[in-house]
Amino acid sequence: MTSNRPLRFAAALSVEPDSAKAERQCLDRLTTELDGARPDLVAVFVSHHHGASIEELGPRIARALGTNAIVGCTGESIIGGTREVEAEPALSLWAASLPDTRVTTFECTAEPHEDERPTFSALPPIGVPSQSSVLLFADPFSFPADDYLRVMNDRFPGVPVVGGMASGGMGPGQNLLITADGLRAGGAFGVVLEGGVEVRSVVSQGCRPVGKPWVVTASHENLVQKLGGRAAVEVLAETLQNLPTRDRQLFQRQPFVGLAIDPAKSTFERGDFLVRQIVGVQPQEKAIAVSDVPRRGSTLQFLVRDADSASEDLAALMSSQGGGSVEGDAHEAGALLFSCNGRGSRMFTTRDHDVTKVRGGLHADLPIAGFFAMGEIGPVGKRNFLHAYTASVAVFRARRS
């Protein structure tokens, strides 16, 4: 049966250092903004400043709001409202009332195998792929999210997965996943949304091309051996030599390449490349090592990233691919934002950069929450990837028939 109730979203942020007060502030705000609607899903993002109170945070919120669909994690920095709270105590809650939507949480662990890809304990319980979206949060030290996403892409092609790797901790067991029945110190936890809610994703990789695109004519594992029939290192050196001084400095500081998503394309636009880092060179083979597995015959583009290009990219994507602005009641739509730990004040001179760009492309009063991740999850093209230095956004609104 179809409900006449509209979707309803709410969000609350507290920077109160007292954990009990912060929790009460957020819950009171959510209750007011939900305006009588019962939440079907709650997302929780919290900084480690709240210490021992995090242990039972999920169960307390589940009892207070009457839902067992609780997802979230710890974050080095926390996003909520109009703010990105860095290096200070913060708690951000986000709630969604989702009529005509099936909401199912799931968890997964990974079993490593020597010289083989890991095996996983579970896949998301997806029933109708054409009406499904997945939110996924994972521990960066125990869960190989890139391998999991490869399995997801093969099993459920076209189903968007958005989320991030928990952060704030420096080693195994320190990044925590939040659920309705307690914490997880490893693995992954997420939720499948099917039916009445549509989740549109925006992944801003924030790079711009330098030089010209090249066809990979020889490669082995993560090594690019030849570009356009020439030794890859020679092409790289020639590209560097011909760059303006500023671009050369940017590239030498953080070298990136873009790997074309669609091998059939010959002309490329924003979003056509998957951004990956250059992690080294092999002088003996005159090859470039990148943080992926480039395929022979694919197109490679050298890239640079700076604050200006990252800012322009996010603003343009929110306008063109974010589905346009949210009209009417802002609480009938919502967004979650997952930004890289390397963004924020580490990249931009203006405060609250990413959340400001997201709100500017959608609605000034849009309920929004999120955190700074140790790896961001989101689709490029129609496949899901684990990214770095990106802003990954999930925009929720009623599914259009």
Q: Is residue 85's pLDDT more than 50?
A: yes
Q: Is residue 181's pLDDT more than 70?
A: yes
Q: Are 226 and 214 in contact (CB under 8 A)?
A: no
Mean pLDDT over each residue of the chain, to the nearest integer? 93
pTM: 0.92
Per-residue pLDDT, averaged over 225-237, amounts to 96
Q: Is residue 171's pLDDT more than 80?
A: yes
DSSP track, 248-304: HHHHHHS-EEEEES-TT-SS--TTSEEEEEEEEEETTTTEEEESS-PPTT-EEEEEE
Q: Is residue 326's pLDDT more than 80?
A: no
Q: Nearest to residue 147, comparing CAs of 184, 178, 109, 176?
A: 109
Position 266 scores a pLDDT of 73
Q: Is residue 321's pLDDT more than 60?
A: no
Q: Is residue 151's pLDDT more than 70?
A: yes
Q: Return the amino acid letter for 3.
A: S
Per-residue pLDDT, averaged over 345-350, amounts to 94
pLDDT single digits (tens) 45-81: 999 999 999 999 999 999 999 999 999 999 999 999 9
Position 263 scores a pLDDT of 76
Position 1 scores a pLDDT of 45
How far is residue 363's CA from residue 327's CA, in Å, rounded to a whole number?
7
> Which band of pLDDT confidence, cut at 50, 70 and 90, is reported for residue 325?
low
pLDDT single digits (tens) 210-227: 999 999 999 999 999 999
Per-residue pLDDT, averaged over 111-118, amounts to 84
Tokens of 59: 């169960």
Position 2 scores a pLDDT of 59
Grouping H, G, I as helix, E, B as strand and the rest as coil, residue 327 is coil
DSSP track, 138-184: E-TTT--HHHHHHHHHHHSTT--EEEEE--S-SSTT-S-EEETTEEE
